[in-house]
Amino acid sequence: MSAPRLDLRANSRALETFGRRSLDALLPPTLQSERFTTWKPRADETTLAIGRGAWEQMTLNEYRSQVGFTDLLHAMTRLGLSRDSLQTMERLTRDEVVHVELCRRMVVGLGGSDIIPGEPQWVGLDESLPNALERIIEMATTSLCIGETLSCALLGAAAKAAKDPVARAVLTRMTADESIHGQAGFHYLAVLLPVLTKRRKKWLEKRASEAAGQAFGICLEPYDDVTHPFGALPYSKLEPIMRSTWKRLIAPGFSKLGLAVREPD
């Protein structure tokens, strides 16, 4: 059995051109495809390999979000949510498509290819829930309010740590996008929570607390503190950033909505 991989190779020159032009139109000149053709990262082979591995993992993470957000947009559309809700979710989904492409360009620029080793840890709507609206609310809570808000803080810290200007520009763009993603989650809840009964709000509080614990779990994994100039964050710095973000943004966001979500131990 072959090792798992994410194949991002193009199948059609015409479609690749359409896609490249449409994505470049959303990006500043410093992040358009032409910039990556002239980028020559300065590092030895070992450092390039470490950086490439980190960006391969980032590609998997962003592709996971792209798939999950596509599912969420589909569910919102089928349910007939408001125009502003759908337009915002379309923007979030498009952002993730852009992020996957930026990460792919980083991997190739660091000596990799369009075939990314590994497999995304898939996220999506919880089909065990009784109806589409609860599935949407659950994913907005866990993936947007918690996941994207934490991701924004970590990407922002990585951008500040990046010494390579191209990596820093990519991370800065992703940080700005994911800030909007996290904020959108709380705005979705403000609109949708009134339909939940008191009992189902208690269920959502419990689910959010569980999701927070899973997110914070990465801080406990036994990684070495390996750094490189392409946006590395030592794992020893992750937990302080995440706890600060929880106290500053996530906990107040839930509290404002009347939700008691427990901070992970």
pTM of the model: 0.95
Report the pLDDT value the prediction gives residue 259, as an integer from 0 to 100.
98
Other Cβ atoms closer than 10 A to 8: 17
What span, in angstroms and rounded, lies between the C-alpha atoms of 104 and 24?
A: 14
Burial class of residue 34 in the structure, from the number of CB atoms within 10 Å of its CB (0-12 exposed, 13-18 middle, 19+ buried): exposed
Quick one: what percent of the chain has pLDDT higher than 90?
A: 88
Report the pLDDT value the prediction gives residue 189, as an integer from 0 to 100.
98
- Give me the residues of the chain with pLDDT under 50, please: none
- Widest CA span of the chain, in angstroms? 58
Report the pLDDT value the prediction gives residue 220, as an integer from 0 to 100.
63
Strand partners, 6: 116
Report the pLDDT value the prediction gives residue 120, as an integer from 0 to 100.
87
Q: CB of 185 within 8 A of CB of 143?
A: yes
> 71 Cβ partners below 8 Å, 6+ apart?
124, 125
In the chain the domains, ranked by start, together with CATH numbers, are 11-256 (1.10.620)
Burial class of residue 29 in the structure, from the number of CB atoms within 10 Å of its CB (0-12 exposed, 13-18 middle, 19+ buried): exposed
Report the pLDDT value the prediction gives residue 6, as an integer from 0 to 100.
96
> 190 Cβ partners below 8 Å, 6+ apart?
257
What span, in angstroms and rounded, lies between the C-alpha atoms of 2 and 39?
A: 32
Report the pLDDT value the prediction gives residue 67, as an integer from 0 to 100.
96
